[in-house]
């Protein structure tokens, strides 16, 4: 439940509140927190700190998230933390690193996230993050390939957050204006035409 509050406050751009919620959950659970929940909370906290411009705290949370993720043992986590699948922490860390301007490290994490199996929506989010980072790095061809996969995977999905993510990638592609990016933007337009 607390992870949902942290996630929602991140979505609402209430970054200080995200940090506070995550910290309260981590402190309250103490040693009894599961590795999956700890990794998720630290990764979301890292994203919040990165958006606040606090690189030191963000990087500290990233290290704690990665350490906790290494301790996750499938089958030993409660059902409530089943959403913390391999790659989830990577994509969250990628987002934090992107906010900090650490594009190389962000791309490594985003690529690792895409390489892990995920449910369909999660895969679309991961591909969107990878495409965004690749565009920021100037790797247009790779960004287009990721965006095309994302658009094909997203067809028929109903989620406002997903649509927002697709629109953001589309805007980045459209700004490039090359033939490949224009085609990828058109594919995203097609995916967006499916009504919610």
Residue 34 lies in a domain: yes
Give me the pLDDT at residue 114, please. 96
pLDDT exceeds 90 at position 157 = no
Confidence band for 195, pLDDT divided at 50, 70 and 90: low
Residue 40 lies in a domain: yes
In a domain, 190, yes or no: no
For the chain, give the DSSP string: -HHHHHHHHHHTT-HHHHHHHHHHHHHHHGGGS-HHHHHHHHHHHHHHHHHHT-HHHHHHHHHHHHHHHHT--TTSS-GGGTT--TTHHHHHHHHHHHHHT-HHHHHHHHHHHHHS---HHHHHHHHHHHHHHHHHHT-HHHHHHHHHHHHHHHTT---HHHHHHHHHHHHHHHHH--HHHHHHHHHHHHHHTS--
Is residue 171's pLDDT more than 70? Answer: yes
Maximum mean pLDDT: which of 31-35, 106-110, 122-126: 106-110
What is the domain-level CATH number for residue 48? 1.25.40.10
Q: Please give the pLDDT value at position 196.
A: 46
Q: Considering the domain boundaries, does residue 152 fall inside one?
A: no
Total tally of structural domains belonging to the chain: 1
Q: What are phi and psi of 62, to 5 degrees?
A: -60, -45
- Mean residue pLDDT of the chain comes to 91
Cα 170 to the center of its chain, rounded Å:
17
Asked if the structure places residue 108 within a domain, the reply is: no
| 19 has pLDDT over 90 | yes
Q: Is 145 domain-assigned? A: no
Is 90 exceeded by the pLDDT of residue 91?
yes
Q: Which residue do the tokens 């998230």 mark?
A: 65
Q: What is the pLDDT, as a whole number, of residue 106?
A: 97
Q: Where is average pLDDT lowest: 95-109, 133-147, 172-186?
A: 172-186
Whether the CB-CB separation of 173 and 188 falls below 8 Å is answered with yes
- For residues 62 and 106, give the distance between their C-alpha atoms in angstroms, rounded to a whole number: 12
Residues of the domain holding 8: 1-84
Q: When comparing pLDDT for 181 and 112, which is higher? A: 112
Mean pLDDT of 5-29: 93
The mean-pLDDT minimum among 59-63, 108-112, 130-134, 175-179 falls in 175-179
């Amino acid at each position: 439940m607390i992870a949902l509050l942290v996630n929602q406050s991140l979505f609402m751009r209430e970054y200080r509140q995200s940090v506070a919620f995550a910290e309260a959950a981590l402190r309250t659970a103490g040693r009894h927190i599961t590795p999956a929940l700890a990794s998720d909370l630290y990764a979301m906290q890292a994203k919040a700190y990165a958006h606040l411009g606090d690189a030191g705290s963000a990087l500290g949370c990233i290290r704690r998230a990665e350490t906790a993720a290494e301790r996750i043992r499938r089958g030993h986590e409660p059902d409530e933390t089943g959403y913390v699948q391999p790659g989830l922490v990577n994509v969250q860390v990628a987002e934090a690193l992107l906010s900090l301007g650490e594009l190389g490290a962000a791309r490594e994490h985003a690529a690792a996230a895409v390489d892990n199996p995920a449910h369909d929506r999660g895969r679309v989010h991961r591909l969107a993050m990878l495409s965004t980072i690749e565009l920021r790095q100037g790797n247009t061809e790779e960004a287009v390939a990721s965006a095309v996969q994302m658009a094909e995977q997203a067809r028929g999905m109903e989620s406002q957050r997903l649509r927002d993510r697709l629109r953001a990638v589309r805007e980045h592609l459209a700004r490039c204006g090359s033939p490949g990016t224009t085609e990828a933007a058109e594919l995203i337009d097609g995916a967006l035409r499916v009504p919610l």
